[in-house]
Amino acid sequence: MIANVLSIAGTDPSGGAGIMADLKTFGALGAYGMAAITAVVAQNTRGVTGFRVVEPDVLTAQIDAVFDDVRVDAVKIGMVATAEIATAIADALTRHGAKHVVLDPVMVAKSGDRLLAAEAVAAVRDRLLPLAEIITPNLPEAADLLGTEEPSGLAAAIEVAGELKALGPASVLLKGGHGGGPDSTDIYFDGDTLETFTAPRITTKNTHGTGCTLSAALAALLPTMPRLAAIARAKDYVTGAIAASDRLSVGHGHGPLNHFHEVWPAE
């Protein structure tokens, strides 16, 4: 089965993050990609220069148009931007009985620009987290959602994963990319199972859209394989995309991942 996967997120005209990265990832992993845009973002590898949020009724119409016509096998949620957008997404996905919902709580871009209004954090936490099969926050985003300090060390991160699970998602994948050390360790917790997924930390500035890509990979894979297998495959895919990013020459800041590293022939 070729899965039909919907991304609900913001744009990136430079192609490395947001909707553009999601659609590349879906295609690279054998899924059919669809998109509903939450915000039109002016950004490149150096940063965000501005964005315009789509009206909630326009976003709802986009989501309804897809579900009214297409079998949707999974949904990835990225940039939400405002509480009103979070509410519109939650209402639409509840109405349509969406399954395999992956929530990447995008709050701050790689450049440091904030993409979620501070007052919208509660709406994401209270309305969207309970709909998610899996959430994929990084360490700063986890702290934002919980209103605590960023965890330091594996033991503290495991505790935070448990606190995030208590907010209502079926499972949590707490990403370790912002941590230190030679390896990047992600922590999975679903209330019963605790697993860690570790990969070597790659020294590169090409990390633009890493979180978008991981969550999109999970959404592409969850309809066709068990959750833990999907996480392992998604992490391997992202690690390979980062390792092959130096084959690209895109921008002068944090460059994008090579989403098609498994498809394009090596030089």
Is residue 212 flagged as an active site residue? yes
* Of 175, 176, 179, 239, catalytic: 175
For residue 170 the two structure tokens come to 């079926």
For residue 92 the two structure tokens come to 């639409």
Is residue 148 flagged as an active site residue? no
Instruction: Report in angstroms the alpha-carbon separations of 241 from 83, 172, 202.
Output: 33, 23, 11
Is residue 207 flagged as an active site residue? yes
* Of 11, 38, 45, 210, catalytic: 210
* Of 11, 87, 207, 239, catalytic: 207
Is residue 209 flagged as an active site residue? yes
* Of 16, 211, 239, 255, catalytic: 211
* Of 209, 213, 239, 255, catalytic: 209
What would you measure as the largest C-alpha separation in the chain, in angstroms?
Answer: 48
DSSP string, 18-51: HHHHHHHHHHHTT-EEEEEEEEEEEEETTEEEEE
Is residue 112 flagged as an active site residue? no
d(C-alpha 186, C-alpha 171), whole Å? 13
User: Is residue 240 within 8 Å of 261, Cβ to Cβ?
Assistant: yes
Among candidate residues 31, 32, 57, 22, the one with its CA nearest the CA of residue 214: 22
C-alpha of 214 from chain center = 6
d(C-alpha 160, C-alpha 93), whole Å? 27
User: Is residue 249 within 8 Å of 12, Cβ to Cβ?
Assistant: no
Is residue 78 flagged as an active site residue? no
d(C-alpha 32, C-alpha 194), whole Å? 31
* Of 76, 78, 212, 213, catalytic: 212
Residue numbers annotated as active site: 175, 207, 209-212
